[in-house]
């Protein structure tokens, strides 16, 4: 058995377990010499982890130390230096430490400790997402959160690379041990990790994740393609080798130095092309493929020209990714030609630099050639080296941002910053919560549960008490302290106080105050109704039955209108004390004559009755040209209401025999009289508010004959509620005036009562 050091020192390319050995004879990656300090850190990490991991088995069933070795080997193969490989051992060893962050920081420094914290939290999130009993939509949402969490932690690329390598190692282990891989794990590899590897341009990891996921998710199709590849393997290898030697010799003889390699085949990409283009296996172009590596870009085009001279090109199968690189930075020339026997052969032409980027992606130029004593989070090296580190970091973040746009469907111009619009934090149980950037512990509490938000009184962030206005940062663990009963503070709605950032949380607080205000109104109305019933000696009457008799569905509906002073208690009194049925002799008011009645006081004409006393109802204050109706009262003549008056409708439903037709007289129609109407206004209280509103009425020549105003404190702050009584000759002009009042600064609502 090899020693740990031997296993990790290998720089062999990743070998696919998803297919037969491929035809690739690609050059091996040679990294910059590692520093003695980095190699010492790797050896110490291995020695530190081995006794902790020895004999331990992971959830998958794989030996924990073997998994760490496999992850380190994968990282080495894509250019990860000894420091990154050391991190692989520390992350898994941390699972068996009491206070892993403190222990790792003391032994290896804060950079490794930070990496251990972030990576372990991501592992916990992924495990919870896979194990949760969720529906398809909820599982997709949780998978999306895992993807976003990777983005949120991407400022330290080591976290992303460690998770990619770990997932690949896990799939390799399932394939090598011939065990069934959990579907959720394979789906996450396909949906999250393979696209991420592709966006970062780490082709080696991308295609192997795809092949292995395909193997576990669609085994029959995988085996069908693998069988088709295996059936003509010897013939294909001989054909590819002959084409490789022929093309290399031809380019050399025409003065184009080049190295030609056989290109690996990938089962998933072959199957995907067969599905997408509806092709049989024999027609898939990239089953036989060559890769040509030349010195520089001019040589790329010279080689392309010569290949097209020597072989017949296939139309519409040429792509220039040098002039127009792929979104992940991939550059190369792609063409398909027919060999001397008429069989398709795909050819990729690139420089050595392009080849390294295509194989290793951003890791090819990332500063994993060791980033100084401060680690990757804070580079201590100066000059050109530090500048290269900064440029590499920017390149990574640009690619991750582009990956985010791929998923969100947004254009480049629509995405601002990096991932500054969201923040991702944890519950004490390691559940991931997505919040608006700048969110506070109160936002966090409301995101978990509305009731918890209402009862929130304190918070701990990473174990330390903090003010409720503290902005949260990615990766923090938040714990809420709540009272058993209670509600939010009105201060939370003050933007300047800084308690809430999320519009959703603010809406929940407003809803709580609205509900409380409604409850207070209902309680006030209930109290008034119950007092009336006590005065009338009707306490045995059920409130629900009373409400039903008055035309309300629920008793609370009645109480709310009474509490708002929008429903008169006289209606209830009339229900409780119905008048005796009048005889025809003692009710002369209802006698009709054939003559038309003259105009009564107020310009109202009672149809069919002479000189009948009329009164304009105060509850709705009708004015021409409102549609009106009359109700015969006891001893006060006819009360004239607007047809849409709720009181009039209730009385008419209960005593229709007392409703009488009325209309506006000639004087009213001519505008010779003035009628009082009530206008209700709600506005933010301020200095000179009353003056500004009065000026609008004065400008429109409407006489203000009464004002009632009160100021209350509600969810909006200090609110002024005013009732203006104004005289109008024609109510049709009123709506135009109300529009102008609504434009006064601070006015929220204005309506005719």
CATH at 269: 3.30.460.10
Q: What's the mean pLDDT in 592-604?
A: 46
CA 376 and chain centroid, separation = 30
> Residue 371 falls within a domain, yes or no?
no
Question: What is the average pLDDT across 587-596?
Answer: 39
Q: How confident is the model at residue 13 (pLDDT cuts 50, 70, 90)?
A: very low
Q: Contact 500/436 with Cβ under 8 angstroms?
A: no
**Is 187 among the domain residues?**
yes
Quick one: 654 and 703 in the same domain?
Answer: no
Number of helices and strands in the chain (H, E): 27, 21
Q: How far apart are CA 689 and CA 702, in angstroms?
A: 18
pLDDT band (50, 70, 90) for residue 281: low
Whether residues 356 and 433 share a domain: the answer is no
Domain with 9 in it: what CATH number? 1.10.3210.10
Nearest to 505 by CA among 517, 519, 515, 495: 495
> What are φ and ψ of residue 480, in 5° steps?
-100, 135
Output the six-digit token pair for 135.
């529906």
Q: In a 10 Å sphere around its CB, with 0-12 CB exposed, 13-18 middle and 19+ buried, how is residue 720 labelled?
A: buried
Residues 6+ apart with CB under 8 A from 498: 440, 469
Distance between CA atoms of residues 502 and 443, nearest Å:
6
Q: For the stretch 431-447, what's the b/e string if a residue is b when 16 or more beta carbons lie within 10 angstroms of its beta carbon?
A: bbbbbbeebbbbbbbbb
Residue 374 domain flag: no
Residues 437 and 335 in one domain: no
> Helix, strand or coil for residue 274?
helix
Determine the structural domain holding residue 460 and report its residue range: 422-501
Which residues on neighbouring strands pair with residue 461, listed in sequence order? Answer: 464, 478
Residue 139's pLDDT is: 56
Q: Do 690 and 746 reside in the same domain of the chain?
A: yes
Token pair of 198, please?
């592709």
For 617-636, the pLDDT digits (tens) are 888 889 888 889 988 887 77
In terms of average pLDDT, the best of 356-360, 379-383, 690-694 is 690-694
Distance CA(731)–CA(697), nearest Å, equals 14
Q: Which of 283, 715, 681, 275 is nearest to 487 (CA)?
A: 715
- Choice between 79 and 214, residue whose per-residue pLDDT is larger: 214
Distance of alpha carbon 521 from alpha carbon 511, whole angstroms: 15
Q: Are 636 and 699 within one domain?
A: no
Supply the DSSP string of 361-375, one letter for each residue.
GGGGTSS-S---TT-
Residue whose C-alpha is closest to residue 720's, from 728, 730, 710: 710
Q: Which two tokens stand for residue 478?
A: 């938040």
Note the helical H segments in 289-440. Answer: 297-310, 352-360, 384-408
Are 531 and 612 within one domain? no
Q: Using alpha carbons only, give the angle 574, 578, 579 rounded to the nearest 5 degrees.
A: 110
In degrees, rounded to 5, the angle at the alpha carbon of residue 471 between the alpha carbons of residues 467 and 476 is 95
Q: Are 470 and 461 in contact (CB under 8 A)?
A: yes
Residues 347 and 286 occupy one common structural domain: yes
Parallel/antiparallel/unpaired status of strands 478-482 and 464-466: unpaired
Pairing state of beta strands 662-664 and 638-642? unpaired
Report how many domains make up the chain.
Answer: 6
Q: Is 379 inside any structural domain?
A: no
Reduced 3-state DSSP string for 44-96: HHHHHHHHHHCCCECCCCCEHHHHHHHHHHHHHHCCCCHHHHHHHHHHHHHHH
CB contact at 8 A, 560 and 526: no
What's the helix, strand, coil split of the chain in %, to 5? Answer: 50, 15, 35
Report residue 145 as tokens. 């959160």
621 falls within a domain: yes
Is residue 569 domain-resident?
yes
State how beta strands 614-616 and 638-642 pair. parallel
Residues 483, 537, single domain; the answer is no
Record the pTM.
Answer: 0.45
Tens-digit pLDDT profile for residues 100-132 = 888 888 888 888 887 787 777 767 666 655 555
Q: Bigger pLDDT: 396 or 597?
A: 396
Lowest-confidence pick of 272-276, 520-524, 576-580: 576-580
Each residue of 160-196: pLDDT tens digit?
Answer: 888 889 999 999 999 999 888 888 788 888 877 887 7
Q: Which residues pair with 724 in a beta bridge?
A: 679, 707
Tell me, yes or no, whether 608 and 664 share the same domain: yes
pLDDT confidence of residue 415: 35
137 and 276 inside one domain: no
The mean pLDDT of 24-33, rounded to a whole number, is 37
pLDDT tens by residue, 705-726: 888 888 887 777 788 888 888 8
Residue 283 has pLDDT above 70, yes or no: no
Q: How far is CA 347 from CA 254, 304, 306, 311, in A?
A: 18, 9, 12, 11
pLDDT given at position 365? 42
112: left (phi over 0), alpha (psi -120 to 50) or beta: alpha
Please, what sign has the CA dihedral across residues 244, 246, 249, 253?
negative
Q: 330-361: per-residue pLDDT in tens?
A: 889 999 998 888 888 889 999 988 887 776 65
Q: Checking phi first, is residue 306 left (phi over 0); if not, alpha (psi -120 to 50) or beta? A: alpha
Domain membership flag for residue 120: yes
Average pLDDT for 42-69:
89
Does a structural domain hold residue 521? Answer: yes
Pick from 584, 612, 585: nearest CA to 596 = 612
* Shared domain check, 195 and 69: yes
Same domain? For 67 and 213 the reply is: yes
Confidence at residue 173, expressed as pLDDT on a 0 to 100 scale: 94
pLDDT tens digits, one per residue of 466-503: 999 999 987 688 999 999 888 999 889 888 889 999 88
Give the list of residues 6+ apart from residue 544 with CB closer than 8 angstroms, or none: 554, 555
Taking residue 465's Cβ as centre, other Cβ atoms within 10 Å add up to: 11
d(CA 429, CA 116): 18
Query: CA 606 to CA 597: how far, in whole Å?
Result: 6
Q: What is the mean pLDDT of residues 601-615?
A: 67
Listed residues 319, 341, 364: the one ending a domain:
364
């Amino acid at each position: 058995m090899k020693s740990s050091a031997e296993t990790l020192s290998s720089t062999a390319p990743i070998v696919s377990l998803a297919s037969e050995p491929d035809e690739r004879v690609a050059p091996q990656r040679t990294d910059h010499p590692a520093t003695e300090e980095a190699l010492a850190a790797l050896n110490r990490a291995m020695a530190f982890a081995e006794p902790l991991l020895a004999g331990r088995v992971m959830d998958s069933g794989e030996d924990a130390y073997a998994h760490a070795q496999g992850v380190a080997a994968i990282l080495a193969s894509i250019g990860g230096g000894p420091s990154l490989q050391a991190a692989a051992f520390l992350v898994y060893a941390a699972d068996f430490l009491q206070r892993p962050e403190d222990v790792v920081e003391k032994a290896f420094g804060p950079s490794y400790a930070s990496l251990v914290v972030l990576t372990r939290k991501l592992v916990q999130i992924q495990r919870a997402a896979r194990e949760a009993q969720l529906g398809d939509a909820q599982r997709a949402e949780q998978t999306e959160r895992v993807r976003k969490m990777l983005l949120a932690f991407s400022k330290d690329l080591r976290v992303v690379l460690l998770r990619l390598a770990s997932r690949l190692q896990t799939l390799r282990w399932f394939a090598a041990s011939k065990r069934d891989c959990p579907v959720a794990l394979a789906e996450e590899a396909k949906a999250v990790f393979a696209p991420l590897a592709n966006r970062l341009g780490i082709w080696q990891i991308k295609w192997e994740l795809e092949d292995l996921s395909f193997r576990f998710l669609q085994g029959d199709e995988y085996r069908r393609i693998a069988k088709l590849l295996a059936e003509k393997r010897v013939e294909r290898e001989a054909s590819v080798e002959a084409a490789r030697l022929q093309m290399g010799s031809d380019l050399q003889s025409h003065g184009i130095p080049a190295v030609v390699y056989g290109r690996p085949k990938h089962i998933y990409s072959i199957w995907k092309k067969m599905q997408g283009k509806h092709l049989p296996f024999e027609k898939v172009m990239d089953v036989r493929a060559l890769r040509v590596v030349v010195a520089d870009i001019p040589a790329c085009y010279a080689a392309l020209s010569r290949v097209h001279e020597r072989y017949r090109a296939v139309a519409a199968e040429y792509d220039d990714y040098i002039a127009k690189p792929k979104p992940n930075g991939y550059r190369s020339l792609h063409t398909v030609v027919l060999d001397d026997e008429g069989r398709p052969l795909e050819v990729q032409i690139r420089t050595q630099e392009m080849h390294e980027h295509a194989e290793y992606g951003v890791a090819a130029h990332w500063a994993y050639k060791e980033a100084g004593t401060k680690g990757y989070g804070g580079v201590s090296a100066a000059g050109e080296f530090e500048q290269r580190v900064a440029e590499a970091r920017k390149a990574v973040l640009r690619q991750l941002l582009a990956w985010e746009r791929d998923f969100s469907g947004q254009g480049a111009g629509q995405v601002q910053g990096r991932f500054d619009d969201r923040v991702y934090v944890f519950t004490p149980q390691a559940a991931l919560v997505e919040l608006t950037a700048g969110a506070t512990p109160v936002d966090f509490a409301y995101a978990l549960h509305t009731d918890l938000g209402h009862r929130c009184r304190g918070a701990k962030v990473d174990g330390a008490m903090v003010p409720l206005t503290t902005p949260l940062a990615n990766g923090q663990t938040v714990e809420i302290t709540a009272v058993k009963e209670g509600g939010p503070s009105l201060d939370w709605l003050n933007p300047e106080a800084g308690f809430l950032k999320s519009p959703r949380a603010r809406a929940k607080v407003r809803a709580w105050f609205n509900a409380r205000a409604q409850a207070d109104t209902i309680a006030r109305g209930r109290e008034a109704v119950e007092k009336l019933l006590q005065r009338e000696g009707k306490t045995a009457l059920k409130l629900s039955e009373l409400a039903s008799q008055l035309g309300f569905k629920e008793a609370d509906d009645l109480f709310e209108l009474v509490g708002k002073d929008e429903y008169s208690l006289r209606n209830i009194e009339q229900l409780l004390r119905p008048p005796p049925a009048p005889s025809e002799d003692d009710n002369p008011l209802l006698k009709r004559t054939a003559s038309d009645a003259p105009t009564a006081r107020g310009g109202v004409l009672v149809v069919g009755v002479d000189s009948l006393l009329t009164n304009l109802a105060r509850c709705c204050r009708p004015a021409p040209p409102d549609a009106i109706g009359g109700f015969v009262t006891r001893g006060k003549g006819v009360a004239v209401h607007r047809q849409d008056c709720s009181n009039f409708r209730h009385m008419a439903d209960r005593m229709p025999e007392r409703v009488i037709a009325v209309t506006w007289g000639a004087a009213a129609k001519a505008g010779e009289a003035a009628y009082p109407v009530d206008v209700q206004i709600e506005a933010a209280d301020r200095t000179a508010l009353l003056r500004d509103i009065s000026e609008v009425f004065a400008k429109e020549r409407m006489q203000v004959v009464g004002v009632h105003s009160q100021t209350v404190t509600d969810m909006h702050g200090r609110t002024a509620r005013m009732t203006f009584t104004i005289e109008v000759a024609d109510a049709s002009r009123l709506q135009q005036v109300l529009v102008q009042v609504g434009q006064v600064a601070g006015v929220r609502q204005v309506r005719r009562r």
